[in-house]
Structure 1
Amino acid sequence: MEKLSLLNRLLVLTASCLMVAAYFTPLWQISLWAPQYPEGLNMKIWIDRLSGDVTIINGVNHYIGMKHIGDEMFPEFQYIIYIIGSIIVFGFLTALIAKRWALYTFFGMVGLLGIGVLVDMYLWGYDYGHNLDPTAAIKVPGMSYQPPLIGYKELLNFLAYSGPDTGGWILGGAATLVVLAIIIDFRNKSKLKNTLP
């Protein structure tokens, strides 16, 4: 049975439609709280830009020697719109042609996107938190300021949080639907094999 079931086609189609939200909602957020900023500072990462309290965060981080944060710091902004767009188009094609190989290819593309984004975020955070200006006004020997990849972390007198924003959660939901489609397809394939003489 090389054709996908109607349910799986609908799951893939829904997942592809959900992924369009990546172009209109922030994907990731980094927030900071400190006694002098009890309301918190928030930076949102979109598919092609940054928004939020970026200027204030840059002013605070300047004193400990961290790099200036700007759109130019993320060359990924130049091409990730095309990567996600290609995955969305392939998802629509998968729902249209309804072939098993297309479903598994779509699953692989979504999985690689997720892994790639997390690895990229980690590497950016490592560079940002470790490569400090040696002439900075405030220097703490042995201290690095790498933000958490996901979750909370104390950095001097700041509490930092990093995690998915609206678009990130929607993409996570889309990926969950694709995983569900894989599970259903695998079970359908197993049932068919058991019914054959």
Structure 2
Amino acid sequence: MKKASLLMIIGPLLLLGLYVFPLWNIVLGAPQYPDPLGMNIHINGLQGVNEFDIQNIDGLNHYIGMHTLPKAEEMWEFSAFPVVIGIMIALGVLVGILGYFNKVSYKWFVGWFLLMSVLGILGMYDFNLWLIDYGTNLDPNAIMKLTNPDGTPMTYKPPLLGHVKMLNFDVTSMPAAGGWLMFVGMMLTLIASFMGWKNSQNLKSLS
């Protein structure tokens, strides 16, 4: 149980990377931009990959009626996410320490993993809702009003995950360093849960 508990401590600590590295990254590439435009999504706000990327993205979006990218204070998520992540890190480490001293069973490891998974799914759902609004709630007075072949207004929702072609832009959305650290951390807690369960089975067979 001690090895499982150590993994349970290390796993949540990897989530500290979210306070340093971006969670997600969206890149827009086009022939007229030798260096693609990039946006890093942190748990507390948006940043351009390069110095003027946010301004350039907003400038392009203005022509097709998309809203400017939100500042940190304009979205409640950027205030809530750092707090929620901090609570989950502290809770996970506490569970791991209690497990190390045999105060709680592996089921608490499973509980933390499930709770973090639910929060992650809700976060992705909320992020996708924002992408939908960002790409479809267009200014009717936009300079360029483009339509699909069937005559419906064209929308510009970036992908939640993966690649899509929008006009002459290739848009790619992928987890960034912070997102991968979170994934590895959660996998460590899943392994810790399995090791704890295996240990409990071995103890039952000996008794």
- What is the TM-score when the length of structure 2 is the normalising length? 0.87
Question: Are 2:45 and 1:49 equivalent residues in the alignment?
Answer: yes
Q: What is residue 146 of structure 2 aligned with on the other side?
A: 140
Q: What is residue 66 of structure 2 aligned with on the other side?
A: 66
Does the residue aligned with 2:160 lie in a helix, a strand or coil?
coil
Q: 2:17 aligns with which of 21, 32, 49?
A: 21
Q: Comparing 80-89 with 106-115, which one deviates more in the overlay? A: 106-115
Question: Are 2:27 and 1:31 equivalent residues in the alignment?
Answer: yes
Does the residue aligned with 2:146 lie in a helix, a strand or coil?
coil
Q: What is residue 125 of structure 2 aligned with on the other side?
A: 119
CA distance in 2, matches of 1:31, 1:109: 31
CA distance in 1, matches of 2:176, 2:25: 6
Q: 1:171 aligns with which of 176, 182, 189?
A: 182
Does the residue aligned with 1:32 lie in a helix, a strand or coil?
strand
Deviations 1:28-51 (A, max 9, x none): 111100111131000111121211
Q: What is residue 94 of structure 1 aligned with on the other side?
A: 95
CA distance in 1, matches of 2:189, 2:78: 25
Does the residue aligned with 2:64 lie in a helix, a strand or coil?
coil
Aligned length: 192
Percentage identity across paired residues of the two chains:
38
Question: In the TM superposition, what is the alpha-carbon distance from 1:102 to its structure 2 partner?
Answer: 2.3
| Structure 1: gaps (5+ residues) | none
Deviations 1:68-88 (A, max 9, x none): 102244320111111000000
Does the residue aligned with 1:125 lie in a helix, a strand or coil?
helix
Does the residue aligned with 1:79 lie in a helix, a strand or coil?
helix
**Amino acid of the structure 1 residue aligned with 2:11:** A
Deviations 1:110-145 (A, max 9, x none): 212221221111111111111111111111223111
- What is the TM-score when the length of structure 1 is the normalising length? 0.91
The verdict on how the C-alpha distance between 1:57 and 1:140 changes in structure 2, with shifts beyond 3 A counting, is: same
Question: Are 2:7 and 1:11 equivalent residues in the alignment?
Answer: yes
Q: 1:131 aligns with which of 125, 132, 137?
A: 137
Q: Comparing 176-185 with 131-140, which one deviates more in the overlay? A: 176-185
**Amino acid of the structure 2 residue aligned with 1:155:** M
- Whether the aligned pair in 1 keeps the contact of 2:12 and 2:186 (CA below 8 Å) is no
Does the residue aligned with 2:27 lie in a helix, a strand or coil?
strand
Q: 2:191 aligns with which of 180, 191, 196?
A: 180
Does the residue aligned with 2:37 lie in a helix, a strand or coil?
strand
**Amino acid of the structure 1 residue aligned with 2:167:** L
CA distance in 1, matches of 2:188, 2:77: 26
**Amino acid of the structure 2 residue aligned with 1:69:** L
Question: In the TM superposition, what is the alpha-carbon distance from 1:95 to its structure 2 partner?
Answer: 1.1
Does the residue aligned with 1:66 lie in a helix, a strand or coil?
coil
CA-atom RMSD in angstroms: 1.6
CA distance in 2, matches of 1:189, 1:144: 54
